[in-house]
Amino acid sequence: MSSLQIPYRDIALENFAYHALSEQMETLPWHAIACVNWAEFSYKPKVSFQVAHDSQRIFIHYGVQEEFIKARYVHINEAVWEDSCVEFFVSFDKKASYYNIEFNVLGTGLIGTGPQRKEERARLDPAITTTVKTATTVVNVDGKKKWNIILVIPAAVFVNDKIDSLRGLTAHANFYKCGDGLPTPHFLSWSKIEHPTPNFHLPDFFGEIIFE
């Protein structure tokens, strides 16, 4: 099982812009999202992430370089996984239930919660999902497309868990990159998944994350 220490950082949010935020995160280590779990979907864009917390928020900075960028969905709770999309699934109750946090290159997102059984899961109210702030940038040079997104996720998003502070918590999570509707569909993960068909909703394969 993969394991990750999430460092504490005071990150100023007054100037909420991609470059202002990324500069404050530049000393954090990068972690690869590089597990190709299904041979029939072998395309492997270059993807990595940085992550930190300030006890009340989780900061995730994704860096993506891929052949195609798709950005169709602009409304909360639409099918953002069909676009160029990054995802963060996290459980605070030893994998009994979890949150799936999914955002496309435009910063359009959805958040679901509940146990693994699809019939028992539900989307969060859009008013809660919009509390996740995003900052993005896209660069296209000589046909090479690179995009970055920073997610600022308040602990209040985790509505089924009473989290007064993230400090000292141990949780379980996985980080993903997908693009179901791209010309080259792909399903990459940080922590390896062993399952016959593409599926990110498998908390048994979440890695351990420790909030310093």
State residue 143's pLDDT score.
79
pLDDT at residue 68 tops 90: yes
* Domains of the chain: total: 1
pLDDT in tens, 35-54: 999 999 999 999 999 999 99
CATH of the domain at 35: 2.60.40.1190
Answer yes or no: is pLDDT of 25 > 80.
Answer: yes
* pLDDT cut 70: percent of the chain above it: 100
Question: Taking all residues of the chain, what is their mean pLDDT, rounded to a whole number?
Answer: 97
Q: What is the 3-state secondary structure (H, E, C) of the chain?
A: CCEEEECECCCCCCCCCHHHHHHHCCCCCCEECCEECCCCCCCCCEEEEEEEECCCEEEEEEEEEECCCCCCCCCCCCCHHHCCEEEEEEECCCCCCEEEEEEECCCCEEEEEECCCHHHCEECCHHHHCCCEEEEEEEEECCEEEEEEEEEEEHHHCCCCCCCCCCCCEEEEEEEEECCCCCCCCEEECCCCCCCCCCCCCHHHCEEEEEC
pLDDT for 113: 98
Q: Tell me, what's the pLDDT at 67?
A: 93
Residue % of the chain over a pLDDT of 90: 95
Q: Burial, 85: exposed, middle or buried (Cβ in 10 Å; 0-12, 13-18, 19+)?
A: buried
**Average of per-residue pLDDT across 79-90:** 99
User: Which tens digits make up the pLDDT trace of 134-148?
Assistant: 999 999 878 789 999
CB atoms within 10 A of CB 104: 29
pLDDT interval class at 86 (50, 70, 90)? very high
Mean pLDDT within 106-122: 96
Q: Which amino acid is at 58?
A: I
Q: For the segment 164-183, what is each residue's pLDDT rounded down to a tens digit?
A: 999 999 999 999 999 999 99
Contacts 24+ apart (CB under 8 A), 81-86: 81/178, 81/179, 81/180, 82/179, 82/180, 82/181, 82/182, 83/108, 83/179, 83/181, 83/182, 84/147, 84/179, 84/182, 85/177, 85/178, 85/179, 86/47, 86/49, 86/62, 86/149, 86/175, 86/176, 86/177
pLDDT tens digits for range 71-83: 999 999 999 999 9
Work out the average pLDDT over 81-96.
98
- Residue 204 belongs to domain spanning: 3-211
Residue 2 pLDDT class (50, 70, 90 cuts): very high
